[in-house]
């Protein structure tokens, strides 16, 4: 029994040693193939394969230091490919790795990284101005982990502008429903986002037309108020505005409002005013 057990242990040990040697031999053989595969990938402009091969080469640390310059070149070329193919997020991630590696032309790599980041920010702002807030934020989100705090600040600013305009639009709707035209005009002027301004164009036209109608109606009551028989002031303004709400034009609204208060319209040169039909004693 003891001899059999001893033999089993010897065989197990030899098997384990053989397996370790086989793995080491395989790794050594694979490492010897990697430089050739790396150069072939570079020659074929297969930069994704080049990056994978260089990373494998660098992982076999006891067999050498890898190929940092070749890896930097492949990262640079592959990042440029991704950028040209319309994949800015992947391109920026690879360019960030290139800068962090410290290899290659660092000044050039940093300038490229900054230029690409700015281009993505400009694209996000363009989407935002078109009313695509969520797309703009999605475009900026992957940059927050690698870029400066300006990315987070930009995202926060876009959301703040959007929310402010959205709240102002809701207030505007309420003011228009209540026919508070001057307050509605002030609310319209507070909209500072192109998309929200575009959404409010019809509302602006309605508000400005209503204000113009009020101004025209009030022009008919510019006669001096020293005559106690002249009806003017808040009472006439309210009566005229009530007629405007019913769809009358400014002149008819002025006339109807005057009659409603017990007066009649009189002309005095270029001016018109409302005189009481039964003059006060």
Q: What is the pLDDT of residues 2-52, one digit of tens each?
A: 455 555 555 555 445 544 444 444 444 444 455 555 555 555 566 666 766
The predicted structure's pLDDT at residue 142:
83
**DSSP characters for 144-169?**
TTTS-THHHHHHHHHHHHHHHHHHHH
The predicted structure's pLDDT at residue 15:
47
Return the minimum-mean-pLDDT range out of 57-71, 142-156, 255-269: 57-71
Tens of pLDDT, residue by residue over 92-131, are 888 888 888 877 788 888 999 999 999 999 999 999 999 9
- Compute how many other C-beta atoms are within 10 angstroms of the C-beta atom of residue 220: 22
Question: Do 81 and 105 contact (CB within 8 A), yes or no?
Answer: no
**Long-range contacts from 109-116, C-beta under 8 angstroms, 24+ separation:** 109/76, 112/79, 116/83, 116/88, 116/91, 116/92
Whole-angstrom CA distances from 26 to 31, 41, 58, 222 are: 8, 22, 16, 103
Whole-angstrom CA distances from 278 to 13, 83, 104, 259, 264 are: 127, 84, 98, 12, 10
The predicted structure's pLDDT at residue 157:
94
Question: Do 41 and 47 contact (CB within 8 A), yes or no?
Answer: yes
Q: How far is 249 from 99, CA to CA, in rounded Å? A: 70
Which residue, 75, 88, 80, 86, is CA-closest to 47?
75
| Bigger pLDDT: 112 vs 60 | 112
Query: In the predicted model, what is the mean pLDDT of residues 67-85?
Result: 79
What residue ranges define each of the domains in the chain, with the CATH number in brackets? 27-144 (1.25.40), 209-281 (no CATH)
Among the ranges 80-84, 88-92, 150-154, 198-202, which has the highest mean pLDDT value?
A: 198-202
Query: What is the pLDDT confidence band of residue 176, given thresholds at 50, 70 and 90?
Result: very high
Query: What is the pLDDT confidence band of residue 136, given thresholds at 50, 70 and 90?
Result: very high
Q: How many CA atoms lie within 13 A of 255 on its CB side?
A: 7
Question: Do 140 and 155 contact (CB within 8 A), yes or no?
Answer: yes
Q: What tokens were used for 80?
A: 């440029």
Per the prediction, the chain carries an average pLDDT of 77
Tens of pLDDT, residue by residue over 189-245, are 999 999 999 999 999 999 999 888 877 766 655 544 445 678 888 888 888 888 888
């Amino acid at each position: 029994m003891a001899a059999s057990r001893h033999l089993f242990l010897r065989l197990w040990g030899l098997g384990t040693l053989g397996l370790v040697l086989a793995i080491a031999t395989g790794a050594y053989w694979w490492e010897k193939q990697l430089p050739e595969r790396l150069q072939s990938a570079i020659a074929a402009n297969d930069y994704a394969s080049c990056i994978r091969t260089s990373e494998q080469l660098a992982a076999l640390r006891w067999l050498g230091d890898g190929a940092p310059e070749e890896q930097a070149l492949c990262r640079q070329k592959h990042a440029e490919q991704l950028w040209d193919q319309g994949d800015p997020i992947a391109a920026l991630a690879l360019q960030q790795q290139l800068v962090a590696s410290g290899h290659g032309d660092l000044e050039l790599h940093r300038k490229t990284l900054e230029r690409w980041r700015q281009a993505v920010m400009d694209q996000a702002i363009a989407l935002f101005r078109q009313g695509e807030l969520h797309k703009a934020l999605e475009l900026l989100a992957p940059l927050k982990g690698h870029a400066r705090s300006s990315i987070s600040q930009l995202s926060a600013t876009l959301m703040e502008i959007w929310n402010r305009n959205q709240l102002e639009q809701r207030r505007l709707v309420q003011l228009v429903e209540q026919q508070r035209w001057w307050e509605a005009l002030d609310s319209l002027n507070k909209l500072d986002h192109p998309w929200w301004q575009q959404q409010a164009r019809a509302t602006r036209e309605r508000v400005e037309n209503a204000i113009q109608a009020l101004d025209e109606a009030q022009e008919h009551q510019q006669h001096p108020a020293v005559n106690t028989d002249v009806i003017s002031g808040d009472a006439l303004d309210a009566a005229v505005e009530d007629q405007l709400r019913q769809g009358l034009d400014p002149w008819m609204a002025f006339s109807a409002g005057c009659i409603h208060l017990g007066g009649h319209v009189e002309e005095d040169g270029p001016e018109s005013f409302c005189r009481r039909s039964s003059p006060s004693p």
